[in-house]
Amino acid sequence: MGDTSSQQRLAGKVALISGAARGIGRAVAQRFAAEGARLWLNDLRGDELDALIDDLRGNAARVGGMAGDSSDPNFVQAWVAAAVAEYGQIDVLYNNVGVSRPGLVGEITDDDWRFVQRATLDSCFYATRAVLPHMVAAGRGSIVSMSSGAGVGGHYNLGAYAAAKAGVINLMETVAMEYGPMGIRANSVTPGPTDTQPLREYLTAQPGGIPASVVDLDLRRLTEPGEVANAVLFLASDESSSITGICLRSNIRAASTRPS
């Protein structure tokens, strides 16, 4: 589920992806490579990033990248500069990094609040800011950022994460407004809970397991990483050339309420 045949939708384009080594980021990297993009990747996990790069190169993709902290503005500037040095252009940025730490709002520590904001919202801002001058100079570009159902209407016990993901949506809306006249599009994606290993392990340990966790989702199941990758591909490609400033929502709760 989630796979479609390649039509080379990103042929000739250079795409930057943060948080690419696992889960949704990995699925997006694989999908972009199949669609002809030249890739420049990032992840904190250097060994896993190298393994992904080797795998993609084994399938004839042109791909490189740098391991490092996407919440460090100096690293992000260096990562973007290296992409320009390697390929001479940036056409697509996909901001994938996001980290949650649970806690009721009145109990969130300063450290947890700053960690979640830094990893989830600051990382998106730093990469977006870094690519904009190159996209403005080229007169084109597409920025796609990963939000979450938690960023739409809040989420019980995930206040810091929900606030950061809501900020991602608003940041993309603002970029769309400010830079649309310069040929740059910016959109966000809010998939429902997605079948990645960490989430599956977490939900399995909850009362009722995965079945109880998906009962109030629109589709009554977890979203697959490949399905998210297809949505990101659509927004990154010229197939959505007139679409900007939207939050593409899928398979999420209409509202998050305190569990009974």
Quick: pLDDT tens for 237-252.
Answer: 999 999 999 999 877 7
Residue 256 binned pLDDT confidence (cut-offs 50, 70, 90): very low
Length of the chain: 260
Within the chain, residue ranges assigned H as helices are: 23-34, 46-58, 73-87, 110-117, 123-138, 159-179, 197-204, 209-214, 225-236
pLDDT at 204 (0 to 100): 76
pLDDT at 218 (0 to 100): 75
Is a pLDDT exceeding 90 seen at residue 105? yes
Q: Would you say 188 and 243 are in contact if contact means Cβ atoms under 8 Å apart?
A: no
pLDDT at 255 (0 to 100): 44
Is a pLDDT exceeding 70 seen at residue 160? yes
Is a pLDDT exceeding 80 seen at residue 78? yes
CA distance linking residue 76 with residue 97, whole number of Å: 13
pLDDT at 258 (0 to 100): 39
Residue 3 binned pLDDT confidence (cut-offs 50, 70, 90): low
Query: In a 3-state reduction of DSSP, which class is residue 36?
Result: coil
Residue with more model confidence, 206 or 226? 226
Mean pLDDT of 160-177: 97
CA distance linking residue 128 with residue 24, whole number of Å: 19
Q: Would you say 228 and 26 are in contact if contact means Cβ atoms under 8 Å apart?
A: no
Domain ranges, ordered by start, for the chain: 14-250
pLDDT at 250 (0 to 100): 77
User: Which residues are identified as catalytic?
Assistant: 161
The CATH homologous superfamily to which domain 14-250 belongs is NAD(P)-binding Rossmann-like Domain (3.40.50.720)
Is a pLDDT exceeding 60 seen at residue 135? yes
For CA atoms 183, 122, 167, 204, the dihedral sign is: positive
Tell whether pTM > 0.85: yes
What does the block give as tokens for 225? 């990483």
DSSP annotation of 69: -
pLDDT at 221 (0 to 100): 73
Mean pLDDT of 80-102: 96
pLDDT at 180 (0 to 100): 98
